[in-house]
Structure 1
Amino acid sequence: MDSLLFILMLIGALGVSSQWIAWRFRMPAIVVMSVMGLLAGPILGIISPQEDLGSMYSPLISIAVGIILFEGSLNLDFREIKGLGKPIFRITTLGAFLAWIIGSLAAHYIADLSWAVAFVIGGIFIVTGPTVILPLLRQAKLKPRPAAILKWEGIIVDPFGALVAVFAFEFVKFVTMDTVTFATILAFLAGSLLGAAIGAFFGYGIGWMFENGYVPEFLKSPVVLASVVMAFALSDTVMHETGLLAVTVMGMTIANMHISSIGDMRHFKENISILLISVIFIMLTASLNRETLLSIFDWHIILFILIMLFVTRPLSIFLSTINTDLQFKEKLLVGWIAPRGIVALTVSGYFAGVLLEAGFDDAEILTSLTFGLVFATVVAHGFSLGWVARRLGLSTESKPGVLIVGSSKFSVNLAKVLEDLNIPVLISDSSWSRLSHARRLGVPYEHGEILSEQTDYQIDLTPYEYMIGLTEYDSYNTLVSSTFMPAFGREHLFQLPLQVNQGDHLEDVSKHISGRLLFEEGANWSALNEKINKGFLFKKTTITQKYTYNQFLKDLDSESVLLFILRKSGNIDFFTPKSEIRPEAGDTVVSLQKPVQN
């Protein structure tokens, strides 16, 4: 292709469409992007980004990887580490170190890589791919402890993989040079410290400016993005390959300043990172030539992948969790599940170029080696996690859960009905007195402010696919929906209809920031709780071939309210004022009905 604009458009379109297909059909995004990139590149020969983009290729990869690592390091709040249990702490420290050492030895002795390349790739492979593992956990429905271990391992170790690779590369490069002197080692340490200082300076500066109101809201995201690129470029100019260290330190600095706009910043960076990851992954896979692709089937690489799957990961987990309360079957599950993700491939693609420039010719197979491991782990772990968890008895086998914000007589009774139907449910409220309803009925609850930044590690959101705002304040329900829209998606966020005659008068609130309205027009907080006070009861009605939905509607009192349908599959469909959902035979309809008069 001669048109650079067309090539850039095609790369972006392939990346984003791959993400959409993966979401639509509940597939690992990395698998879809692999197929797309390989089809467009080495198989059909439509594009070859490395050749088509020329001198722009390496800088684009470098900056994108820097932004991706910055976004990952924004999640590393040290308060989260303090609250972790002994097994998670061990796995994210000793386990990561053991995985690096064992993986590097395997890369050297099995894949026949030089020590420099082996230790760099070993550092990258300690990352277990949070962009891959978190969606898998939602699908697999693991029990809380193994789910928490895999989740926090992915989040905490993610920023350190590239950091370990940077130090390994710089250290081994200096050690393997013919002219290693005290001055060169000192220059390496000074360059690394300067890179970290640049990152900390930019991070602290951004946080200070944001907290003191020196940057308006509409400029915050552009300022952060520009600052990440500046920190990366400045550090890399002072000493090559320290840019990644700078942006990682910058993200960690901002994360631990606990600034009020950190949530908005995370959401923006997540969106940018998804776009960059999609684009970079397509570029890397499409740039593979057929020879490199076929080299994946070399017995050295296949054996290395098998060693990583069946030796390195289980051994690092079992050794690091000695003398912890982790059960054997939990060790088996955690020792098996370690999908490497898109970040591993993008970072290894970056280091492949860097190592080749430094004269390490064996780095040429890094991309194919990483691609083979990433693809193998995503397929093997992605499609086996649920089965293995069930076989080990570590799967909850529960239906998609519901997180209810706001404790009242209606919401607590609704939660009780959901619990009786074996649906995971949790009520969150900042008022201890309002939670008395939940305590009285024995419904699971969380005392705290759902909008607090502490929520991320106080409440495990994994079991819950739906969030509904059931407080008496329309504005608060809308704020909750707006805040959690990136996490749940608008199709799974609900709130009560607005109270037109009282409350906040938000009838003109934008539909783009509010959740989907529940039940029916007029079924607001006051109306629903008034019905509970009048003795209205929650009824569960199973629709059959003989007792059809039409017959059920005929028997329903006009004051009754249709709430939701529990499908045979276990999914929940909430009734909304504009919904046209209909139950089928075998489905259960839950409604709030007027008590039968004697």
Structure 2
Amino acid sequence: MLEHITAMLALLGVLSLFCQWLGWRLRLPAILPLLLCGLLLGPMLGFLKPDAIFGDLLFPIISLGVAIILFEGALTLNFKEIKEHGGMVTRLVTLGTAITWVCISVATHYLIGFDWPMATLFGALVVVTGPTVIVPLLRSVRPKTELSSILRWEGIVIDPIGAILAVLVFEYIGVAADPTTHVLHALTSMLLVGFGLGTLCGYLVGLILRNNLLPHYLRNTAVLTLMLAVFVASNLLQEEAGLLSVTVMGIWLANMKGVEIDDILEFKETLTVLLISALFILLAARLNADALIRLGWQGLVLLAVVMLIARPLSIWCCGVGTSLSSADKWFLSWVAPRGIVAAAISSLFAIKLEKAGVAGAELIVPLVFLIIIGTVVIQSLTAGRWAKILGVTAGSSQGLLIFGASQFSRALAKTLKANGVTVLLADNNWDNIRLARMENLAVYFGNPASEHAENHMNMSGIGRVLVLSPYRQLNPLVSFYFQDVFGREKVYGLNNNDSTSSSNSARHQLSESYLRQLCLFGDAVSYSKLASLMAKGASIKSTSLTANFDYSMFMAQYGQSAIPLVYLQGGKVKVISAADRVALTSGVELISLIPRDAKPAAIVNITQP
């Protein structure tokens, strides 16, 4: 028996990895292969039986998994970023949630035959969307920046709100006598315990991190352990208050001044990916095939109500008085896939309701999964075409992601931004990111090729990548990752075959495929050369080439030591590489690096910058 359980756990890990890889390879949300895998192994083949494997431990595993997922999502909730997207997000997670809840609850009552308490519980479970499903969809669709931001932040904020709403409805169902008074008491206790303990522990953990009271290797483990302790303690003080506590704790840490949580986020990201993968397979494997079939046409009609009535009504009511166009609202009306929180919390409550003998409890999970599968599959396959019909796509992405926020990169980004080009700087070095933020540049602290970056880095308007970092071993990873995203011709890197490198042994050499990529700014330009020129006082200059001041005159003024970097022509951004032979004519805005001691050129080559 023990060997069987061990084998099933190992198989679960391998299948999780394969499904995540398959989702990445097919450019689809990983939830699709995960769900299909769980359905195949569970209801169809009867090979994977989570209840038999985990027994009484299944409920605690699901509970702790949901807590970690919500905590990781809360750590990304920076209020400054939410405010930038206006009042639409606030309306969606308040008024929009209420409208969606009422519409789905009423439809569930009349279509499925649930009594009103069970119908309102189901409505509360499926009001949530999720960034783990929405972000991959947005990457493939590429809508306008404001629409992408609204959907991304709605998915993050609404998760804990939906969880709290579901808990309150569950409390109402579980009490036979005077449920209203009980729910009011439970709500009061939940808010006091959740906000009180969450805020207190978030502040104390923040102080520990800010004052470096823990060695670096214990930071991630300590935060995870303390978070789980807060979750359990809150549930002991008030049943089901733990989810609110860990959410508040995460939000507090995300917004506390002087507390760096990026390394914690990276650790939680890895853990969350593992949990999401395993939970989806396990939860799908628990589905009752007969119950799913019993839903019949009524379940499909309910899916239609969720997609075609509840969501559009919510968007159009919340969009009153905003700057969103009709096309924007129609696009938002179509994109609201459900994700892991709905699946996990529904399974969590279904277990309790079935133990309590509540009628209809066995249909909760199949119905939730029907909504998840329907919204994810249909919207993933149609959102791109719908966005093009409405004309809300971002169009040709002329923006640049620059990996490496050195002095040169920051100067280039400032000049590009001044010329109306979208620029995002990414770096693992906090000092570089801090300096870039002080210069009001968009930044991402961390590895841009990570899973966390995929879910949280705003790539709206970005169409090309410049690898300008000194991290020789990380540069190939970033380059290959974005070559898969944008194509090989959209990723540029500096000449990395630098003879000044500290080691030329075979073990330190980069792969030939990486060295064959497009060399930025010419074969003679390396990171060390750019850093040296900037240290000696070189500057980034933007020059308008006209009939009266053409490229030959530019070179005559600044000499052959000037390094052309990028030029703008006809609303398009052209990155200069070693493979380019361009003729710079009038009407071009040339951005170049001018050494401090640049001298006039004796001979000018006007065809090759």
TM-score (norm: length of structure 1): 0.75
**Structure 2 vs 1, CA of residues 70 and 102 (structure 1 numbering), >3 Å: closer, same or farther?**
same
**Structure 2 vs 1, CA of residues 103 and 484 (structure 1 numbering), >3 Å: closer, same or farther?**
farther
CA-CA distance at 1:461 after TM superposition: 2.0
Matched, 1:98 2:99: yes
1:203 equivalent in structure 2: 202
Query: d(CA) in 2 for partners of 1:484 and 1:94?
Result: 41
1:256 equivalent in structure 2: 255
1:158 equivalent in structure 2: 159
Matched, 1:561 2:563: no
Contact 2:167 2:240 in 1 (8 A): yes
**Structure 2 vs 1, CA of residues 100 and 140 (structure 1 numbering), >3 Å: closer, same or farther?**
same
CA-CA distance at 1:482 after TM superposition: 11
CA-CA distance at 1:18 after TM superposition: 0.5
**Structure 2 vs 1, CA of residues 391 and 538 (structure 1 numbering), >3 Å: closer, same or farther?**
same
Query: d(CA) in 2 for partners of 1:458 and 1:495?
Result: 24
1:131 equivalent in structure 2: 132
**Larger deviation, residues 129-138 vs 259-268:** 259-268
Contact 2:394 2:461 in 1 (8 A): no
CA-CA distance at 1:412 after TM superposition: 5.8
Q: What's the % identity of the aligned pairs? A: 32
Query: d(CA) in 1 for partners of 2:410 and 2:393?
Result: 31
CA-CA distance at 1:451 after TM superposition: 5.3
CA-CA distance at 1:208 after TM superposition: 1.1
Query: d(CA) in 1 for partners of 2:495 and 2:354?
Result: 61
Matched, 1:212 2:211: yes
CA-CA distance at 1:267 after TM superposition: 1.7
SS for the counterpart of 2:177 is coil
Query: d(CA) in 2 for partners of 1:306 and 1:213?
Result: 52
CA-CA distance at 1:121 after TM superposition: 2.4
Contact 2:160 2:243 in 1 (8 A): no
The one-character-per-residue Cα deviations of 1:47-100 (angstroms, maximum 9, x if unpaired) are 111222211111111111111111111122222333322333322332122212
Map 1:253-292 onto structure 2 (within 5 A): 253-292=252-291
Query: d(CA) in 2 for partners of 1:137 and 1:462?
Result: 9
Counterpart of 1:448 (choices 441, 459, 479) is 441
Contact 1:407 1:428 in 2 (8 A): no
The one-character-per-residue Cα deviations of 1:338-374 (angstroms, maximum 9, x if unpaired) are 1111222122111211333344231211111011001
Counterpart of 1:398 (choices 396, 399, 405) is 396
Q: Give the residue type in structure 2 aligned to 1:75.
A: T
The one-character-per-residue Cα deviations of 1:191-221 (angstroms, maximum 9, x if unpaired) are 5422432222322221111111111111111
**Structure 2 vs 1, CA of residues 288 and 410 (structure 1 numbering), >3 Å: closer, same or farther?**
closer
Query: d(CA) in 2 for partners of 1:172 and 1:262?
Result: 39
Query: d(CA) in 2 for partners of 1:125 and 1:487?
Result: 34
1:578 equivalent in structure 2: none
**Structure 2 vs 1, CA of residues 449 and 334 (structure 1 numbering), >3 Å: closer, same or farther?**
closer
**Unaligned stretches of 5+ residues in structure 2:** 428-438, 539-554, 568-576, 582-603
2:366 equivalent in structure 1: 368
2:309 equivalent in structure 1: 311
CA-CA distance at 1:222 after TM superposition: 0.9
Matched, 1:336 2:337: no
Q: Give the residue type in structure 2 aligned to 1:377.
A: T
SS for the counterpart of 2:466 is strand
1:295 equivalent in structure 2: 294
Contact 1:130 1:158 in 2 (8 A): no
SS for the counterpart of 2:400 is strand
Contact 1:150 1:334 in 2 (8 A): yes
SS for the counterpart of 1:45 is coil
1:549 equivalent in structure 2: none
Map 1:369-448 onto structure 2 (within 5 A): 369-398=367-396, 402-404=400-402, 426=423, 447-448=440-441
Query: d(CA) in 1 for partners of 2:466 and 2:196?
Result: 44
* Count of aligned pairs: 519
**Larger deviation, residues 86-95 vs 526-535:** 526-535
Query: d(CA) in 2 for partners of 1:235 and 1:409?
Result: 47
**Structure 2 vs 1, CA of residues 394 and 257 (structure 1 numbering), >3 Å: closer, same or farther?**
same
Contact 2:163 2:243 in 1 (8 A): yes
Contact 1:498 1:507 in 2 (8 A): no
**Larger deviation, residues 380-389 vs 127-136:** 127-136
1:572 equivalent in structure 2: none
1:524 equivalent in structure 2: 526
2:75 equivalent in structure 1: 74
**Structure 2 vs 1, CA of residues 185 and 332 (structure 1 numbering), >3 Å: closer, same or farther?**
closer
Contact 1:499 1:505 in 2 (8 A): no
Query: d(CA) in 1 for partners of 2:409 and 2:385?
Result: 39
Query: d(CA) in 1 for partners of 2:287 and 2:134?
Result: 26
Map 1:506-545 onto structure 2 (within 5 A): 519=518, 523-525=525-527, 534=560
**Unaligned stretches of 5+ residues in structure 1:** 431-445, 541-559, 565-592
2:86 equivalent in structure 1: 85
**Structure 2 vs 1, CA of residues 117 and 228 (structure 1 numbering), >3 Å: closer, same or farther?**
farther
Contact 1:71 1:251 in 2 (8 A): yes
Query: d(CA) in 2 for partners of 1:452 and 1:302?
Result: 43
SS for the counterpart of 1:228 is helix
**Structure 2 vs 1, CA of residues 452 and 64 (structure 1 numbering), >3 Å: closer, same or farther?**
closer
CA-CA distance at 1:112 after TM superposition: 2.1
SS for the counterpart of 1:562 is coil
1:229 equivalent in structure 2: 228
Contact 2:91 2:318 in 1 (8 A): yes
Q: Give the residue type in structure 2 aligned to 1:354.
A: K
Query: d(CA) in 2 for partners of 1:409 and 1:69?
Result: 35
**Structure 2 vs 1, CA of residues 243 and 506 (structure 1 numbering), >3 Å: closer, same or farther?**
farther
SS for the counterpart of 1:261 is coil
SS for the counterpart of 1:110 is helix
CA-CA distance at 1:259 after TM superposition: 4.5
SS for the counterpart of 1:240 is coil
Contact 1:119 1:169 in 2 (8 A): no
TM-score (norm: length of structure 2): 0.74
Contact 1:429 1:447 in 2 (8 A): no
SS for the counterpart of 2:40 is helix
Query: d(CA) in 1 for partners of 2:242 and 2:480?
Result: 29
